[in-house]
Structure 1
């Protein structure tokens, strides 16, 4: 994939060699960054106890599941655990480049639902707007199309998902 940069089109042609030598790292950086971005979000839910919070009577009152229950999502506890595990384990899998397409397609669905049902009310460029889920959705689509790419476990296996 390392196509030579046409240096005549660069403002600083001397940078062409740097661009050439680093271009194969661009996609793995994107994949690793997206995975690393999700890991702490899942960590807070799964390890930090943020999936569900219950009051003394056993009623769901907070956490991701509580938020989802308020938004009338079905089976909020199950979905909250799924999302937490997807963020934590799926993020780690993206960092490693393992099962990239399988993880990416789940992120596509996750971010589509997040953009439409959770963040749509705030639209763009406001607190909790939908621009971040849409950006993550586009990156997930790219990861789904391209797979693990260079510097991935997927690439080193004989078959990729």
Structure 2
């Protein structure tokens, strides 16, 4: 692999991390603040399992967007999605297309990938390690 393709792979990894973090964060905003209005499931009680999930999604999503502590945070979020899938979706049906769990599975494995791959060159983690993020 050439240096040029390695640099682009790290940049694209950063873009994937940022987009996934923003989408994850959006789920936390819906559950904690009911924003945007009308989005499911809407605001949930903070002292509930969904409330705990909302806090993880909001804080974890923000950290993933920034690329700060990417590996441990993404690992935690991957576990959250696995638990969410088996608690909420799997009891409805064995098939993800019927139980609505496709997104939970996708997030689970995406976060698991980020926990192994790291945040990429455009991350606070890279800055903390002293790597100069090339633009």
User: Which TM-score band (shorter chain)?
Assistant: 0.7 to 0.9
Q: Rate the CA distance shift 1:28–1:111 in 2: closer, same or farther, 3 A.
A: same
Corresponding residue SS for 1:119: helix
Alignment match of 1:100 (pick from 33, 55, 70): 70
Task: Give the TM-score normalised by the residue count of structure 1.
Answer: 0.64
Q: Does 1:42 align with 2:28?
A: yes
Does the 8 Å contact 1:115/1:134 carry over to 2? yes
Q: Does 1:139 align with 2:110?
A: yes
Structure scoring higher RCO (CA < 8 A, sep ≥ 6) equals: 2
1:9 aligns with none
Structure having the larger proportion of residues in helix: 2
Does the 8 Å contact 1:2/1:24 carry over to 2? no
Task: Give the TM-score normalised by the residue count of structure 2.
Answer: 0.75
5+ residue gaps, structure 2, are 35-41, 131-135
Kindly report structure 1 stretches of 4+ aligned residues shifted beyond 3 Å.
1-5, 20-24
Corresponding residue SS for 1:142: helix
Deviations 1:43-66 (A, max 9, x none): 1222237122xxxxxxxxxxxx7x
Q: Does 1:51 align with 2:23?
A: no
